[in-house]
A and B are shown apart, each in its own frame.
Chain A
């Protein structure tokens, strides 16, 4: 019976996503295809000193992205460092340098890795004026970069790819802010709290005392999911009853994570003038999502492993109101987008279920991935695919009428090398560097042995892919992890953006070449199959050796 209801829940999710796919995708396409500025936007541009009608070259676009993100980084860092004098700080002291750097990097990079426990580290002002604002803007930056790449594919002979400030502004004012307001109110109805009460002490039924936390949670929860950010207001994240009180808020939160990433292929198809192209991308994303979700659900429901068998089910680290199915669905959605929120503790998942969470991230966060970053990651792989298909079946490598030449392939190749390098180097250094190794083994790792390696591997996978979820047993608030993961998050976010925008510039400058009989159609099942193969081979296989040392070894033991 539980299985039947579990499947019905998945069908509900699919139905909702299918219903919003067109309207949301088309709405975003219109939003980013010129049109008039709203009056409030015109005022905003005047305040900024930006001409919304002037367009930027890819270099200027990139410069704006980076400058805006550097300012954001400093801003969040300073807020944390001055916490002691901020209002609503709950008497908490300034966040220490290393942790403040890690957290600022994490939220600016749309990762929301949390080396800290929020209840004892972050006051309300840092959360709503620092972290929540980055939840909004980092998501909007991701969408802007994706849209810039799509313009590169759709324009011909153009030296510009749009205006970053306009893309950022429209993403915020017309999409993320209005949706967040509606969602926050719905979450409030479900029981998510929104107050400035601080910690309140009560006398319990047995005469003991209990602390009830407060905070402006609903407002932050909405954008945390909608922007695929994932940083919890509380340590337990979306497992906390004040962040996710019921089974229906749980499903709503899953919908929120997937809504924008799954609708962006429609935006892409509409903007390049061939909706079938968007459908092909969507097909690849959906196929991998379905396979991965099925696998994780089966592994968790199987209740494998010594502890789960002893207890009679894999319920360690899971909430009763969500159950196994609600937990596996949330965990899949969260790691297949770059959200990283958790409603159950992945560290306590079955070995293979936990491996699926890792593998999901290792796919490079493209099925459907983060807001914007999922689409641009997938488009880079589509470019690799037409190139490989060109070699395999003798077609001219072109995508949407753009020639994929040496420059494009170089940019795309470097793009796909960045994340695996960060993940594998980071994990290897943690275990190999003298001095670091002892600290990692003694201080950081909670579960020793094979599972300990998984904890470290999970951390770097999560950071470099900008996911932010954790095998949370790992104590990451150490100088090594704060620094190494902070750097991995920043490089994992902004280096790929450099190459994506360079690619956008290079594609935009090209004229469109007409399709010939030698052109590989990129909207047919054949291409969907090829792209699927490339995604799996190029991304996931890179990690096979290290997975064999960690979760695979543990799960097959």
Chain B
């Protein structure tokens, strides 16, 4: 192949890449952004949850309900352990990536179980697995209904509420499986805690 034909063919490849970038990169992204912002602005902007008109998080992104030292605040339902940054850092989504035999992971699980057993007044066997394991994203907004269940008494006591009152909020904020059979039943922790906050209101 002569140099000239080769140069001509590279010209084709370069023009193709430029046009694809304009259409598939810029155009396509712009169209989807337009549709999202015009027709589905709530979802497109992150499904924000508000308290008294102020955004206080995203209902899809988990939050930590701890004090500055990372200690669990008893009056809030607790999320799962998080490996995103220092915990629930939306700019640093991540799992722990610790392996199934990793000694540090085994140790952390034991410590988390001890902490929860003490704070929630339960035995280790009652603590579900999701309560002591970090999620894949580090931003899991959910806990299992079982983990919500064992927190009810602690939260009620810390807030001077009856366990029945708290329990009914848990029930209201428990979602069944999608379409009745996809995935797992979940409790959205931020929504549940927002309901608690409004109760006090």
Does B associate with A? Answer: yes
Smallest CB–CB gap between B199 and chain A, Å?
A: 13
Interface centre among A196, A313, A554 (most CB of B within 10 A): A313
Q: A471 at interface (Cβ–Cβ under 8 A)?
A: yes
Query: When the two chains form their complex, are residues A312 and B29 in contact, meaning their CB atoms are under 8 A apart?
Result: no
Interface stretch among A244-252, A482-490, A523-531? A244-252
Smallest CB–CB gap between B4 and chain A, Å?
A: 13
Residue numbers in A under 8 Å from B90 (CB-CB): 199, 210-213
Residue numbers in A under 8 Å from B29 (CB-CB): 128, 132, 216, 219-220
CA distance A239 to B66 in the complex (A): 23
CB contacts between A and B, total, < 8 Å: 359
Query: When the two chains form their complex, are residues A192 and B43 in contact, meaning their CB atoms are under 8 A apart?
Result: yes
Residue numbers in A under 8 Å from B63 (CB-CB): 204-206, 210
Query: When the two chains form their complex, are residues A165 and B16 in contact, meaning their CB atoms are under 8 A apart?
Result: yes
Q: A112 at interface (Cβ–Cβ under 8 A)?
A: no
Provide the B55-97 mask, 1 if CB < 8 A to any CB of A, else 0.
1111011111111100001001000100010001111111111
Smallest CB–CB gap between B163 and chain A, Å?
A: 21
Q: A49 at interface (Cβ–Cβ under 8 A)?
A: yes
Interface stretch among A182-190, A389-397, A436-444? A182-190
Provide the B115-148 mask, 1 if CB < 8 A to any CB of A, else 0.
0000000000001111011111111111110000
Smallest CB–CB gap between A254 and chain B, Å?
A: 11
Residue numbers in A under 8 Å from B155 (CB-CB): none
Smallest CB–CB gap between A86 and chain B, Å?
A: 12
Query: When the two chains form their complex, are residues B56 and A203 in contact, meaning their CB atoms are under 8 A apart?
Result: yes
A195, A197, A210, A345: the one within 8 Å of B88 (CB): A210
Query: When the two chains form their complex, are residues B129 and A305 in contact, meaning their CB atoms are under 8 A apart?
Result: no
Interface centre among B19, B58, B106 (most CB of A within 10 A): B58
Interface stretch among A317-325, A399-407, A416-424? A317-325
Smallest CB–CB gap between B19 and chain A, Å?
A: 6
B26, B46, B60, B182: the one within 8 Å of A129 (CB): B26
Interface centre among B25, B128, B143 (most CB of A within 10 A): B25
CA distance A308 to B21 in the complex (A): 46
Q: A291 at interface (Cβ–Cβ under 8 A)?
A: no
Smallest CB–CB gap between A63 and chain B, Å?
A: 7
Provide the A29-73 mask, 1 if CB < 8 A to any CB of B, else 0.
000000000000000100111100000000000011001101110
Query: When the two chains form their complex, are residues B142 and A208 in contact, meaning their CB atoms are under 8 A apart?
Result: no
Residue numbers in A under 8 Å from B158 (CB-CB): none
Q: B161 at interface (Cβ–Cβ under 8 A)?
A: no
Query: When the two chains form their complex, are residues A49 and B97 in contact, meaning their CB atoms are under 8 A apart?
Result: no
A172 with B24, Cβ < 8 A, contacts A189-B43, A240-B93 known:
yes
**Which A residues, 105 to 154, have Cβ-Cβ distances below 8 Å to chain B?**
117, 119-120, 128-130, 132-133, 136-137
Residue numbers in B under 8 Å from A316 (CB-CB): 95-96, 98, 100, 105, 133-134
> Which chain A residue lies CB-closest to B131?
A311
A68, A210, A554: the one within 8 Å of B100 (CB): A554
A137 with B46, Cβ < 8 A, contacts A64-B13, A204-B56, A321-B142 known:
no
Q: A257 at interface (Cβ–Cβ under 8 A)?
A: no
Q: A429 at interface (Cβ–Cβ under 8 A)?
A: no
Query: When the two chains form their complex, are residues B101 and A343 in contact, meaning their CB atoms are under 8 A apart?
Result: no
A48, A180, A307, A450: the one within 8 Å of B16 (CB): A48
A240 with B135, Cβ < 8 A, contacts A5-B181, A216-B32 known:
no
CA distance A473 to B106 in the complex (A): 16
Smallest CB–CB gap between B24 and chain A, Å?
A: 5
Residue numbers in B under 8 Å from A242 (CB-CB): 46, 60-61
Interface centre among A5, A185, A188, A199 (most CB of B within 10 A): A188
> Which chain A residue lies CB-closest to B35?
A185
Smallest CB–CB gap between A394 and chain B, Å?
A: 45
CA distance A206 to B140 in the complex (A): 18
Provide the A527-557 mask, 1 if CB < 8 A to any CB of B, else 0.
0000000000000000000000000001001
A202, A208, A234: the one within 8 Å of B55 (CB): A202
Query: When the two chains form their complex, are residues A211 and B136 in contact, meaning their CB atoms are under 8 A apart?
Result: no
Smallest CB–CB gap between B194 and chain A, Å?
A: 7
Q: B186 at interface (Cβ–Cβ under 8 A)?
A: yes
Query: When the two chains form their complex, are residues A307 and B101 in contact, meaning their CB atoms are under 8 A apart?
Result: yes
Query: When the two chains form their complex, are residues B100 and A48 in contact, meaning their CB atoms are under 8 A apart?
Result: no
Smallest CB–CB gap between B72 and chain A, Å?
A: 11
CA distance A133 to B11 in the complex (A): 19
Provide the B164-194 mask, 1 if CB < 8 A to any CB of A, else 0.
0000000000000111011110100010011
Q: A194 at interface (Cβ–Cβ under 8 A)?
A: yes
Query: When the two chains form their complex, are residues B99 and A189 in contact, meaning their CB atoms are under 8 A apart?
Result: no
Query: When the two chains form their complex, are residues B54 and A349 in contact, meaning their CB atoms are under 8 A apart?
Result: no
A320 with B17, Cβ < 8 A, contacts A188-B40, A205-B194, A206-B65 known:
no
Residue numbers in A under 8 Å from B194 (CB-CB): 205
Query: When the two chains form their complex, are residues A181 and B100 in contact, meaning their CB atoms are under 8 A apart?
Result: no
B32, B36, B184, B190: the one within 8 Å of A205 (CB): B190
Q: A19 at interface (Cβ–Cβ under 8 A)?
A: no
Query: When the two chains form their complex, are residues B135 and A205 in contact, meaning their CB atoms are under 8 A apart?
Result: no
Provide the A334-345 mask, 1 if CB < 8 A to any CB of B, else 0.
000000001111
Residue numbers in A under 8 Å from B45 (CB-CB): 193, 195, 197, 214
A247 with B98, Cβ < 8 A, contacts A195-B33, A322-B183 known:
no
A236 with B93, Cβ < 8 A, contacts A133-B21, A351-B101 known:
yes
Query: When the two chains form their complex, are residues A132 and B9 in contact, meaning their CB atoms are under 8 A apart?
Result: no
Q: B47 at interface (Cβ–Cβ under 8 A)?
A: yes
Query: When the two chains form their complex, are residues B46 and A236 in contact, meaning their CB atoms are under 8 A apart?
Result: no
CA distance A136 to B24 in the complex (A): 8
Smallest CB–CB gap between A294 and chain B, Å?
A: 19
A241 with B17, Cβ < 8 A, contacts A195-B36, A246-B178 known:
no
Q: A2 at interface (Cβ–Cβ under 8 A)?
A: yes
Q: A218 at interface (Cβ–Cβ under 8 A)?
A: yes
CA distance A322 to B19 in the complex (A): 39
Smallest CB–CB gap between B70 and chain A, Å?
A: 11
Query: When the two chains form their complex, are residues B32 and A9 in contact, meaning their CB atoms are under 8 A apart?
Result: no
Query: When the two chains form their complex, are residues B197 and A133 in contact, meaning their CB atoms are under 8 A apart?
Result: no
Residue numbers in B under 8 Å from A199 (CB-CB): 90-91
Residue numbers in A under 8 Å from B136 (CB-CB): 236, 239, 317-319, 327, 342-345
Q: B150 at interface (Cβ–Cβ under 8 A)?
A: no
CA distance A472 to B93 in the complex (A): 13
> Which chain A residue lies CB-closest to B190?
A205
Provide 18 A-B residue pairs closer than 8 Å at the C-beta atoms, listed in order of the A residue.
A119-B92, A129-B25, A188-B44, A195-B46, A210-B63, A236-B95, A239-B95, A240-B137, A241-B141, A304-B100, A306-B101, A307-B99, A307-B101, A307-B102, A321-B186, A348-B96, A449-B101, A473-B99
* Smallest CB-CB A-B distances: 7 pairs: A247-B183, A305-B100, A313-B129, A239-B136, A473-B97, A194-B36, A345-B95
Add 4 more A-B contacts to A205-B190, A247-B183, A317-B133 (CB < 8 A): A211-B90, A241-B61, A316-B95, A473-B99
